A and B are shown apart, each in its own frame.
Chain A
Amino acid sequence: MNRSHFRVLEVNLSTGHSRVHEIDGRITAIGGSGLAALLFDRFGRVDLPWNTEEQPFILAIGPLTGAFPLMSKTVAAFKSPYHDQYTESHAGGRSALALKFTDLDALVITGRAKTLSSLEIGSRSIVIKDVSFMQGMDAYASGKLLRRICRGGSGHRSILRIGPSGEIGSAMACINADTYRHFGRLGGGTVLGSKNIKGIIIQGDGSFALPEGQEYKKIFARVYEQVTGTRMMQKYHSLGTPANMQSLDDLKSLPWRNLQQSTDPEGIKGINGQRFADDALLRNGACSGCPVGCIHIGYVREKFSEDNRYLYRQVAYDYEPLFSCGSMLGITDTFEVLNVMDVMEKVSLDSISGGVALAWATEAMERGLISEKETLVALAFGDAEGYRKAAHLLGTGANEFYRLLGQGTLKAAQEYGGEEFACVLGQEMAGYATGELFFAAQSLGFRHSHLDTGGYSYDQKHNEKDVDKAATFLMNDEPGRCLLTSMVSCLFARSVYTPEVLAECLTSLGYGEVADQLSSAGENIRQHRWQLRFATGFAPDDIVLPKRYYKVKTWKGPVDGKYLDSLRGEYGRRLSALVKNQPDA
């Protein structure tokens, strides 16, 4: 189980051949994010477009995967269809443990299958099957069929799949991971689609001997007690991240109706976390190896016959899709929000990007920039039925307008107008209208994710407008997160897995050398990722911040445009200095 090198499976879909590589670099790259960057260096091409046949799609796990609680995430890395730059997307579910039990640190998929195919790997098997008959199939149906096609391993396998959005080339296409989790952002689904891969099945059918002695068991028990017996993870266990709906609305930081408002005290009553728990929560679920169980699964039911005949579907909900398919679209009913999310799931769109894109389209329609000629259905804030139809049209690329919108809201806005109110921060925004630092941080962040750094948290704790201090916070916050995403931990556990605890965990498994170099490794991984991002075309000055962000009012009052611009300038300058190894980064 513990080895100083990485064991990596490369599957070349063009040739149908596979190869196991033993690659050095454990101490500096660790795994996860660091390993993915290392592998992109080896298998990827910074100078070729994302959809070039040879470009890799990478799945990577870390040295602590499966061995400790909440070490349950997988890092996907690829050149993104959204901006043609290097990126990562992370998901929970079962894929991390399944990959671990195939005795691999990473899977690298290169080439392109001749027909739409499934790829099944196990510790002793690699099978590529033609699944042309699944073309255009939605993510739910695909999961069911793949379970039948690739039998065995129920509960101990991971099924990743794409829906129609990934097949039509949408830059918002996600990869559905085990039904309720996703490699959501920046178009990973379309990377698989471009490789003619409909689904990846990972059979976790191996096991490993653990180190002798009591150290590992003792540390495991201590960490387990912290995550289950204390209040540290209570937020995620109870209402889950949907608790943010009410708290951010109270802070006047919840985007409503394409961020024309940052609070709606009446509307939030219908879609806050407590309301979802009371009305729509069916049950909870967990990623494999995580006892917190933060997955909240709601339900929608549909009357399909006048004779009181109903069907129901289960829809997992978290804060981000609730914001993007709820408040951002002006929908104030729990079940109507879930109904829109349900369609996003079927077409396998990143529901954050999809919801934000439709919010822009709604305002563009209100302003007369577009009409039903483009949207094919009427869009109005609060009209869930219209959004259900539009989500399907967006995910299936129904016409030129939707195909362009699927490449990114700003791209559509450049064609039809309305750039000033496109809610894009590098990609469609995450649900935090907390102020200047978050806007700067997401727009320039490595993944354009709210989890790249704690900008939204800083906004809530600091009133002073100190550009140097804020930029220093962002720069100092990132290496620690890189360590966690290299282990690979769920970032919800960041308060549990301090660098000291990580070092103990690593040492108990025999990774003492990695533990000794943690601090420098975190910095190295951060720098490596950014070097790849810059090498594939990232330039901080190219990122446009729509005017809408300068008009936001939070609990602190109106956004200070000058402060925002100064933050963006300084953060961008420091990132540029970082990749050049300049001391003032």
Chain B
Amino acid sequence: MKILTAPHMERCIGCHSCALACARLVHKRLSWETAGIRIHSTGGLSSGFAAKRCLACLDAPCVAVCPTGAMGQRKGGGVIYKEKLCIHCGECVAACPVEGILQDRDGDIFVCVQCGQCVEYCPHDCLEMRDPETVGPGEVIA
């Protein structure tokens, strides 16, 4: 199972097309925030951009702290999120060290499902779906 990687974030122009695509296609929302990938500037526009997203851990801390089993470990990395089981406690958000999971003001959880739909909407090919075995150290955290 492939995972989302962002090996070329230095190419990012900050158009938010990936986040908007995730919100539109996965979550049926118009938003640059309530999505599994979110683009943030790293100290003003002059400093470039970072993609806040799930880094597809193999032993995810968010899964470990989830009290209801809503966050399950995905084979190959990342998580399987079952909304029906979620009590919106936010423990997963706090447990993720890279701010990969977002909880909106209504308590809803947004996390990457590794579907890759955002990849097609990046005009500069910053994002790639990759087999975990082909991802070298450092490539995921671009």
Considering the chains assembled together, what is the distance between the CA atoms of A101 and B19 in angstroms? 14
Segment among B37-45, B54-62, B66-74, B130-138 that sits at the interface with chain A: B37-45
Q: How far is the CB of A389 from chain B (nearest CB, A)?
A: 25
Scan residues 243-295 of chain A and give those whose CB is less than 8 A from a CB of chain B: 283-293, 295
Q: Is A217 an interface residue (CB 8 A)?
A: yes
Residue B34 is within 8 A (CB to CB) of chain A in the complex:
yes
In the complex, chain B residues whose CB is within 8 Å of the CB of A224: 17, 121
Q: Which of B32, B121, B123 contacts A101 (CB 8 A)?
A: B32
Cβ B14 vs Cβ A155 within 8 A: yes
Stretch at the interface among B1-9, B20-28, B75-83, B87-95: B20-28
With contacts A101-B31, A155-B39, A207-B33 taken as known, whether A220 is within 8 angstroms of B123 at the C-beta atoms is no
Residues of B within 8 A of A (CB): 13-17, 20, 23-25, 28-34, 38-46, 49, 104-105, 121, 123-124
**Any B CB within 8 A of the CB of A130:** no
- Contact (Cβ within 8 A) A207 B44: no
Nearest CB on A from B67, distance (A): 26
List A contacts of B39 (CB < 8 A).
155
Total cross-chain contacts (CB, 8 A): 92
Residue of B nearest to A228 (CB): B123
Contact A210 to B123, CB < 8 A, known contacts A284-B13, A286-B14, A291-B15 = no
Q: Tell me the complex Cα distance, A209–B27, Å.
A: 9
Name the B residues within 8 Å of A314 (CB-CB): 46
A144 at the interface (CB under 8 A from B): yes
A289 contacts B16, CB within 8 Å?
yes
Q: Which of B24, B28, B44, B123 contacts A292 (CB 8 A)?
A: B123
Taking CB atoms and an 8 Å cut-off, the chain A residues in 344-377 that contact chain B are none
For residue A312, give the distance in angstroms from its CB to the closest CB of chain B. 10
Given known A-B contacts A101-B33, A156-B33, A220 and B24 have beta carbons under 8 A apart: yes
A214 to nearest B CB, angstroms?
11
**Choice from A144, A206, A228, A285 contacting B14 with Cβ under 8 Å:** A285
List residues of A (101-131) whose CB comes within 8 Å of B's CBs. 101, 124
Provide the residues of chain A in CB contact with B33, threshold 8 Å: 101, 156, 204-205, 207
A sample of 29 cross-chain residue pairs with beta-carbon separation below 8 angstroms, ordered by A number, consists of: A1-B30, A66-B30, A69-B17, A97-B16, A101-B32, A147-B44, A155-B38, A155-B39, A155-B40, A155-B49, A156-B32, A179-B44, A179-B46, A204-B33, A205-B33, A206-B31, A207-B104, A209-B28, A210-B28, A217-B24, A217-B25, A220-B24, A283-B13, A286-B13, A286-B15, A288-B14, A289-B17, A290-B15, A293-B123
Asked if A304 lies at the interface with its beta carbon under 8 angstroms from chain B, I say no
Given pairs A155-B40, A155-B41, A288-B16, 4 additional interface contacts (CB within 8 A) = A147-B44, A205-B33, A228-B123, A286-B13
Q: B116 CB to closest chain A CB, in angstroms?
A: 15
A 216-230 binary contact with B (CB < 8 Å = 1; else 0): 010010001000100
Shortest distance from the beta carbon of B17 to any chain A beta carbon, whole Å: 5
Q: Are A144 and B44 in contact (CB under 8 A)?
A: yes
Least CB distance from A152 to B in Å reads: 11
State whether the Cβ of A88 lies closer than 8 Å to any Cβ in chain B: no
Is A458 an interface residue, CB under 8 A from the partner? no
**A interface residues, Cβ below 8 angstroms from B:** 1, 66-67, 69, 97, 100-101, 124, 143-144, 147, 154-156, 178-180, 204-210, 212, 217, 220, 224, 228, 283-293, 295, 314
Complex contacts, B44 vs chain A, CB 8 Å: 143-144, 147, 179
| Structural contact, B45 and A180, CB atoms closer than 8 A | yes
> What is the distance, in angstroms, from A235's C-beta to the closest C-beta of chain B?
15
Q: Is the CB of A154 within 8 A of B46?
A: no
Q: Nearest chain-B residue to A1 (Cβ)?
A: B30
* Contact with A210, one of B16, B29, B42, B45 (Cβ below 8 angstroms): B29
Chain B residues near A100 (CB, 8 Å)?
30
Across the two chains, which residue of chain A brings its CB closest to B45?
A179
Q: How far is it, in angstroms, between the C-alpha of A431 and the C-alpha of B128 when the chains are bound?
A: 42
Residues of B with C-beta under 8 A to A178: 45
- Chain B residues near A147 (CB-CB < 8 A): 44
Closest approach, in angstroms, between the C-beta of B40 and any C-beta of chain A? 3
CB of A288 within 8 A of CB of B32, answer yes
Point out the residues of chain B lying under 8 angstroms from A220, CB to CB: 24
Say yes or no: B24 contacts A207, CB within 8 Å.
no
Give the interface centre of B14, B42, B45 by most chain A CB atoms within 10 Å.
B45
CB-based closest 10 A-B pairs: A207-B31, A155-B40, A286-B15, A293-B13, A291-B123, A286-B13, A207-B34, A155-B41, A208-B30, A291-B17
Least Cβ–Cβ distance between B121 and chain A, in angstroms? 7
- The residue on B at minimum CB distance from A284 is B13
Assess whether A156 is in contact with B40, with CB atoms less than 8 Å apart: yes
Instruction: Provide the residues of chain A in CB contact with B105, threshold 8 Å.
Output: 124
Do A293 and B121 have beta carbons less than 8 Å apart?
Answer: no
Of the residues B32, B40, B104, B123, contact of A97 by C-beta under 8 Å: B32
CB distance from A228 to the nearest CB of B (A): 5
If A97-B32, A156-B32, A285-B45 touch, whether A207 touches B16 (CB-CB below 8 Å) is no
Are A204 and B15 also in contact (CB < 8 A) when A217-B24, A292-B123 are?
no
Complex Cα–Cα for A293 and B30 (A): 21
Q: Which residues of B contact A155 (CB under 8 A)?
A: 14, 38-41, 49
Question: Which residue from chain A places its CB closest to the CB of B123 in the assembled complex?
Answer: A291
B30–A210 CB distance below 8 A: yes
A207 CA / B13 CA spacing, docked (Å): 22
> Complex: how many Å from CA A419 to CA B77?
71
